DNA sequence: AATGAATGAGCCTTCATTCAT
DNA sequence: TATGAATGAAGGCTCATTCAT
């Protein structure tokens, strides 16, 4: 029953995602996931051999989801207004920032840090670069159709993503208010478009 | 006695700092620090009861050092040129970013994340805000004396610090090239001053 | 039904025999046998409840085969020459010795040792004594018809079997060369008959 | 405190020897040895990392003892009578055989079998060959001084050792009576000397 | 103060055995 | 019957922490 197994794996992934969001990467034990997912110790080992394997699968499923979202956004570049797309993009980023102490950023950084020597791919780089690229395309398109005035979309996108990354991390650790996030986003938008307060 | 003890504590702190920079916060064990500092298991417990206690002391010593540096910088605001001070400030930040996979940022985030519920103060917030404040003062002063053209120093400083924070984290995990850092810093400076390539 | 079941049991026994020969007794797990026999975990339990039960059945099937062989040999005592029978007997023993690291001797000893307290019959004693008895009969018959000159066939048979047992064990563990085995067998035969080199 | 450690190691070895003699090699767990030696789980790991390491140390200590005994015996070859030495040698072998179900032979064979592929040295071969060599020297010396009449000491020694090995294994598994052992030993001695019943 | 051996709690992993399908 | 997922007991190992010296 491959389907049955998939359902189980999905259940494990869902619960594990919560655990990683709540505890980070390193301090998560198989026991934590066993308890969160409500299956037995041995049962978990049928599907996954280590927390790392589970974490990588969590990342993969998130990646899949994000790639899909990014693809959709790029597809809409021609039809939709750039400002509209930008707002949607930033809203997503904001949502992720504000998940704050319950998002996966810290876990991802812990993991990336833990295996920085092993040449393992943590996905963090890909995630960052993909988002930057999407943002760059939105800006470039907005330039073309006159919605934005942005000399160097690549540079602006890169800078914005670093700042957003910084906010994610701060949010995940010491916290950040929604108002503060809005302020930052508006500040950044003003560099290439008019924003009312 | 007390002096002797201080010497010992300092030795432990120095070695522990290296360990935390290399391994992050969570995966550091007392054994790691025992081995790094070359004193005995029992000996270490005379001075510190846990890795957390040691880590907090590491943070404290760094804080002290940075507060000193910041105070110096503020003191120089009147005498020195703002551009000069800014360059010095950014050079320090760049240095920290480029320490990359061997800086304490990840450890600090891990710690801040680990104790985000306990209301313990991780120092990360203070560090961030202090740096932002110094930067803001530099910008404001530069505005006053015509070196910079920066409408909202507070907003600019905040944004820059988030981007710098983002770079620190990326540097500590997936890596970042010096060229890239320079590019970002130059981009940010251009918002309020002229920078040659 | 019953026949079908017998076929299955035989399949299991065959594969299990290989497993025990390769891994000994104690370190064989149900999983090993499941994998070797290609049936399911649950399926195996329909036929056998433990590795011990399987092993005992393996022993039984070997015993049955050997008893048959021994019976044949005794039956031929009158018709065939004693020297000829002896050679056949020793050739069989030699074959078993040289199976070396893939024979069941070690597994049998492990099993016998494991249940030496429980009063369970490991079959090892029976196997040894039966072989000794057959050998004794061959020697006695050879004495009668003048082929051998052996004062005490019982003692000789017993001694030979211990030495053969010793060789089996050495073969199964540290290894033994065919030349060495031949030398030993020839040496033993010379005690009661003439053997050319 | 190297001495302190040695005492502890010796205690562990002594208790572990009993455990291996009683349970063989494979089924011995660290827990068994922990319980037998009365120290804590973690404490045992200070001295040994695995049952294999302990077992190898057990073998080493036995080897050392036997090498000493063998050396003594060879040293006495000139002074003492060969028959006397032979009796002493066989008495030792008999003693070992009759330890029966509590000797280390089975454990040694289990170990040798377990690591027959890895090229690890189990010591079983060395033990066997050393004993055979000593026996051969005793026989040769007895030949020289007329106490024995033994054409080929090497062959006789080898054959005897295999038979003795066979008895050890049988004794360790299915058991053997002292009377039976005596009978076998006397039978073997008669091949080269006169023995009264 | 200093040492490092000793302790035991806790996590990892495997495996015999059961059970729903 | 047959399957293989699921369970939980048991053993391996590490590490924070204590304690005799």
Strand F nucleotides within 7 Å of a protein CB: 1-20
Q: Is the CB of C51 under 7 A from strand E?
A: yes
Residue of chain C whose alpha carbon sits nearest to that of D186: C155
**pLDDT score, position C68:** 93
Distance from CA of C121 to the nearest CA of D (A): 9
Say which residue the tokens 């993909």 belong to.
Answer: A130
**pLDDT score, position C26:** 93
Which pLDDT tens digit goes with each residue over A12-31? 999 999 999 999 999 999 99
Q: Which of C61, C58, C14, C55 is nearest to C36 (CA)?
A: C14
Q: To the nearest 10°, the Cα dihedral for B84, B89, B93, B99?
A: 70
Instruction: Report percent pLDDT > 90 for chain D.
Output: 78
Average per-residue pLDDT for chain C:
92
- Give me the residues of A, 57-96, that contact B with CB < 8 A: none
**pLDDT score, position C48:** 96
Distance of CA A83 to the CA centre of its chain: 21
The confidence band for A78, taking pLDDT boundaries of 50, 70 and 90, is confident
Q: Which of C27, C162, C170 sits opposite D26 (nearest CB)?
A: C27
Considering all nucleic acid strands, name the nucleotide whose C1' atom is nearest to the C-alpha of residue B44.
E2
**pLDDT score, position A150:** 94
Average per-residue pLDDT for chain A:
92
Between CA B134 and CA A187 the distance in angstroms is: 20
Taking residue D126's Cβ as centre, other Cβ atoms within 10 Å add up to 15
Q: Which of D110, D173, D184 sits opposite C162 (nearest CB)?
A: D184
Which pLDDT tens digit goes with each residue over B55-80? 999 999 999 999 999 999 889 988 88
Q: Which residues of A touch B191 (CB under 8 A)?
A: 191
Distance from CA of D151 to the nearest CA of C (A): 12
The confidence band for C146, taking pLDDT boundaries of 50, 70 and 90, is very high
Q: Which residues of B touch A169 (CB under 8 A)?
A: 109, 165-166, 169
**pLDDT score, position D145:** 93
- Lowest-pLDDT range of A108-122, C65-79, D10-24, D79-93: A108-122
CB contact under 8 A, A173 and B24: no
CB contact under 8 A, C113 and D125: no
Which pLDDT tens digit goes with each residue over A40-72? 999 999 999 999 999 999 999 999 999 999 999
Mean pLDDT of all residues in D120-139: 92
Give the CB-side neighbour count of residue A57, counting CA atoms within 13 A.
Answer: 18
Query: Is residue B159 within 8 angstroms of chain A, CB to CB?
Result: yes
Between CA D158 and CA D165 the distance in angstroms is: 10
Taking residue C63's Cβ as centre, other Cβ atoms within 10 Å add up to 14
Q: Note the CA–C1' distance, A117 to F14, in angstroms.
A: 23
Given a contact cutoff of 8 angstroms between Cβ atoms, the answer to whether A82 and A141 are in contact is yes
CB contact under 8 A, A128 and B170: yes
Q: Which residues of A touch B152 (CB under 8 A)?
A: 187
DSSP 8-state class, residue B187: H
CB contact under 8 A, D173 and C27: no
Q: Which residues of B touch A164 (CB under 8 A)?
A: 162, 166
Mean pLDDT of all residues in D106-111: 90
- Give me the residues of A, 94-153, that contact B with CB < 8 A: 101, 106, 109-110, 112-114, 116, 122, 124-125, 128, 152
Q: Which residues of B61-91 are buried (b: 16+ CB within 10 A; e: fewer)?
A: ebeeebeeebeebeeebeeeebbebbebbbe
Residue D11: pLDDT over 70: yes
Mean pLDDT of all residues in D92-111: 88
Distance of CA A34 to the CA centre of its chain: 25
Mutate to test the interface with D, among C113, C121, C156 (most CBs of D within 10 A): C113
DSSP 8-state class, residue B29: -
> Quick one: CA dihedral C163, C169, C170, C176, positive or negative?
positive
Given a contact cutoff of 8 angstroms between Cβ atoms, the answer to whether A165 and B166 are in contact is yes
Of residues A5 and D35, the one with the higher pLDDT is D35
- Lowest-pLDDT range of C43-52, C147-156, D76-85, D157-166: D76-85
DSSP 8-state class, residue C103: S
The confidence band for D82, taking pLDDT boundaries of 50, 70 and 90, is very high
Backbone phi and psi for residue C175, each to the nearest 5 degrees, phi listed first = 90, 155
Between CA A113 and CA B174 the distance in angstroms is: 8
The ranges of chain B with pLDDT < 70 are 1-2
Between CA A114 and CA A26 the distance in angstroms is: 8
Given a contact cutoff of 8 angstroms between Cβ atoms, the answer to whether B31 and B54 are in contact is no
**pLDDT score, position C196:** 79
Q: Which residues lie below 8 Å from residue B195, measured CB to CB, with a gap of 6+?
A: B186, B189
């Amino acid at each position: 029953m491959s389907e049955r197994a998939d359902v189980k794996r999905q259940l494990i992934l869902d619960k594990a995602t919560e655990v990683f969001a709540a505890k980070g990467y390193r301090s998560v034990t198989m026991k934590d996931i066993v308890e969160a997912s409500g299956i037995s110790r041995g049962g978990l080992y049928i599907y996954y051999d280590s927390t790392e394997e589970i974490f990588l699968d969590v990342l993969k499923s998130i990646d899949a989801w994000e790639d899909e979202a990014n693809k959709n956004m790029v597809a809409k570049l021609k039809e939709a207004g750039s400002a509209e797309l930008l707002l949607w993009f930033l809203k997503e980023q904001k949502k992720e920032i504000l998940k704050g102490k319950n998002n996966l950023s810290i876990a991802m950084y812990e993991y990336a840090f833990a295996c920085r020597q092993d040449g393992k791919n943590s996905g963090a780089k890909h995630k960052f670069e993909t988002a930057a690229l999407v943002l760059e395309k939105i800006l470039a398109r907005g330039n073309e159709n006159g919605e934005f005035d942005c000399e160097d979309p690549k540079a602006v996108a890169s800078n914005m993503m670093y700042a957003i990354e910084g906010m994610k991390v701060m949010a995940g650790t010491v916290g950040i208010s929604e108002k503060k996030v809005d302020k930052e986003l508006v500040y950044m938008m003003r560099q290439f478009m008019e924003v009312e307060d």
